[in-house]
Structure 1
Amino acid sequence: MGWISTDSEHEGWAARVAPDGRLSASSTAGGMLFKGITGHFPPDKTLPDYEVIPDRQIIGWRGQCECGWQGEMWERVTSAEAGDLSRRRDYLPPEEPAYASGEVEDAIHEEWKAHIAPSEAVLGVEAAAREYNQAGHRLDKTVAAAKAAGASWTDIGRAVGISRQSAHERWADMPGSEPA
């Protein structure tokens, strides 16, 4: 399972880690697919640049993002007693498919969300700036309409929460705001 940022600029997932440190997000019936040929594992039959590493040889998991970010390693341990999520260790029996447990996947997802937090925050700034600009344009139009309808700079300033002089300085040169 993977995650996509709001702006679709980041896609993250819990990648499986091969004994040589390579990361994978894909699997086949024979194991996990890893890009690159080392000669230590059988090549995939349909993807010539990939090797198939058996699930039992996967050494752990880490977060990965298409932008290149990688999270901290979560180690796959060989006994239930050695499992300790607080030390980033999780037990998965050798005969099981090498997918991260729900707890590890959730923790990796939280790490990935921290990785994308700055870009997600900037999206909020962009949205607020758009709203601010739209409100400014709407305010300019309503001030022009109020002035055209005969409102005084004192009344307009009071409505906006500024002085008569500040209102006049801000909007006097706007088309339609000249005194009637």
Structure 2
Amino acid sequence: MGWISNDNEHEGWAACVAPDGRLSSSSSGEGRLVKGISGRYKRDKLMTDYEVVPDAEIIGWRGACDCGWQGEMWKRVASPADADFSERRDYVALEDFADASREVEDAIHDEWKAHIAPSEAILGVAAAAREHSQAGQRLDKTVAAAKAAGASWADIGRAVGTSRQSAHERWADKQ
């Protein structure tokens, strides 16, 4: 299961890590699909440029994003006693599917959200800029309407918090 940024520019997921460091982006009934051919694993039948790494050989997890970003490694350990969340180690039995635990996936999701935070913040800047532009256009129109209705530049200046002269300089040529 993956995550999509609000601008649709980033898609992230908790990727399984193969022994050679390649990351999976999907799975099949036989294991995790990793791009590239090492010759160590059998090729996937449908996606022939992918190999199938058995779940038992997955060594851990890390955040991945289609932009190329990768988070820090979460290591898969051999026993529950070796698991230590603060040390980025988690236990998933070798006979189980190699999916990250909910706790690790949530932590990876948080890392991914930190990765996309600048682009998410830019969306807010873009929205505020659009609103600012629209408000400026509304202000220009209402000033023109007020002037057409007989308001003085002093009245308009007072309404927008400037002097008569500043109001005249800003809007006189927009009449």
Q: TM-score, normalised by structure 1?
A: 0.95
Counterpart of 1:75 in structure 2 is: 75
> Structure 2 unaligned runs (5+)?
none
CA distance, structure 2, for counterparts of residue 52 and residue 16 of structure 1: 12
Counterpart of 1:178 in structure 2 is: none
Q: Which moved more, 1:8-17 or 1:48-57?
A: 48-57
Counterpart of 2:47 in structure 1 is: 47
- Give 1:9-158 correspondences, 5 Å limit: 9-158=9-158
Return structure 1 stretches of 4+ with deviation > 6 angstroms.
none
The number of aligned residues is 175
Q: Which moved more, 1:28-37 or 1:43-52?
A: 43-52
Residues 51-94 of structure 1: CA deviation (Å, up to 9, x unaligned): 11110110000000000000000000001011011110000011
Residues 84-132 of structure 1: CA deviation (Å, up to 9, x unaligned): 1111000001111000111111111111111111111111111100000
Give the CA deviation at 1:34: 1.0
- Please tell me the residue identity of whatever aligns with 1:67: C
> Structure 1 unaligned runs (5+)?
176-180
Q: 1:165 and 2:156 equivalent?
A: no
Q: 1:3 and 2:36 equivalent?
A: no
CA distance, structure 2, for counterparts of residue 55 and residue 169 of structure 1: 71
CA distance, structure 1, for counterparts of residue 21 and residue 170 of structure 2: 62
In structure 1, the residue corresponding to 2:15 is in which secondary structure? Answer: strand
CA distance, structure 2, for counterparts of residue 116 and residue 99 of structure 1: 23
Q: TM-score, normalised by structure 2?
A: 0.98
In structure 2, the residue corresponding to 1:137 is in which secondary structure? Answer: helix
Give the CA deviation at 1:161: 1.1
CA distance, structure 1, for counterparts of residue 48 and residue 171 of structure 2: 68
Give the superposed CA RMSD.
Answer: 0.8
In structure 2, the residue corresponding to 1:63 is in which secondary structure? Answer: strand
In structure 2, the residue corresponding to 1:25 is in which secondary structure? Answer: strand
Give the CA deviation at 1:46: 2.1
CA distance, structure 1, for counterparts of residue 100 and residue 115 of structure 2: 19
